[in-house]
Structure 1
Amino acid sequence: MELTANDLVDFPATMAFLAYRDEMADFVPYLENVERIEVRSRKEPGPGLIELHNVWFLKASIPVILKPVISEDKLCWDDYALWNEPGLFCTWKLETAFLRENIKVTGRTSFEAKNEQSCTMSVAVKVDINLDNIRAIPSFLKGKAITAAERFLTALLMPNLKGVNKSLNAYLKDTHGARP
């Protein structure tokens, strides 16, 4: 499954990129289904490159068919990202706390200047789900479980994909003033 979101951010590309990379935990109040984001590590492997490990804690309702394999305390994911400041993009992977071995999520977030005052923020995500080795789900329900898992992940990811630009805009306006 592939998901994309492209939207205008009312701030310059570099400012938006740096705020998203460096202040992400601060704009949680602007994200509708995120409880908190914890920065676990930050490394600088080379000039203009930052490796970040963040943990996102989510607010969501678990579908009944997935309750045998997902508990409320597992509604989080590890976000491993490599931020490339010269290129104004980030490549990342998410590891869910639930079904970690069965769900693979990778993506790319980029910021492209539209003009000196605004940019386009693009997010592309690829999600692979394989529930074949889950014994808690009977084989005759695996297809339904995969569909439920895809819908559940989409419900967790899409508000952030579609809403992060609005959240970033609101956060930047509140913390950096009106459009520069």
Structure 2
Amino acid sequence: MIISTRTYLPFPRSLVFTTYRDRLSELVPYMPNIQRIVIKSRQERGEHIEQVNEWQGGGDVPAAARSILDESMLSWTEHALWDETNFTTAWKIETHAYTEAVLCKGHNRFLEQDQGTLITSEGELSIDSNKIKNVPSFIAKMVSGVVEDFLGKKIEPNLVQMGEGVHRYLKQHTP
């Protein structure tokens, strides 16, 4: 499954880029689908910053759905490499459910536009049913389809919602 979003923010590229990279925990109140973000590590190497962040989603999941969804299906670890020279980030997501079977990776570009910044996010999501352990193969294929559909319906809207959250955050915190 291809992941692709475009978000325009009417703020300078360097401000948008550093807000996404450095203010992640402060953005949680602006993203209803996210309960918390914990920064696990951050290593600076010149113009590159490597971060590992643990996300807990499910902020807007109805109570009835929560009883069906395992908590691990609503959390993930993000590995990101930020390149300040090119205003890009390469990311990989490790789901906490079916980790060995899920591949989710991509990159964001922060492009300078008239009076603002265009953020393009492109990536891929795939699930290898052969890597779902301890489940008969016919059930694994069904599970992989359900998980891919669930994740696919969450990732793109979450990327858009993050852009909207950054927009609201910057409106409140920029003179």
TM-score, with length taken from structure 2: 0.88
Aligned counterpart, 2:21: 21
- Asked whether the 8 Å contact 1:5–1:123 carries over to 2, the reply is yes
Aligned counterpart, 2:101: 102
Deviations 1:121-140 (A, max 9, x none): 11112112012243554433
Q: CA RMSD in A?
A: 1.9
Query: Could you say if the C-alpha distance between residues 62 and 138 of structure 1 is closer, same or farther in structure 2, counting changes exceeding 3 Å?
Result: farther
Aligned counterpart, 2:142: 144
Q: Shift of residue 74 of structure 1?
A: 5.1
Within 5 Å, give how 1:74-93 maps onto structure 2: 75-93=74-92
- Asked whether the 8 Å contact 1:137–1:145 carries over to 2, the reply is no
Equivalent-residue separation in structure 1 for 2:7 and 2:116 (angstroms): 10
Aligned counterpart, 2:111: 112
Equivalent-residue separation in structure 1 for 2:132 and 2:94 (angstroms): 17
- Asked whether the 8 Å contact 1:62–1:152 carries over to 2, the reply is no
Q: Shift of residue 164 of structure 1?
A: 1.6
Q: Secondary structure at the match of 1:101?
A: helix
- Asked whether the 8 Å contact 1:33–1:156 carries over to 2, the reply is no
Which of the pair is proportionally richer in helix? 2
Aligned counterpart, 1:8: 8
Query: Could you say if the C-alpha distance between residues 150 and 63 of structure 1 is closer, same or farther in structure 2, counting changes exceeding 3 Å?
Result: farther
Q: Secondary structure at the match of 1:32?
A: coil
- Asked whether the 8 Å contact 1:32–1:159 carries over to 2, the reply is no
1:134 equivalenced with 2:125 (yes/no) = no
Unaligned runs of at least 5 residues, structure 1: none
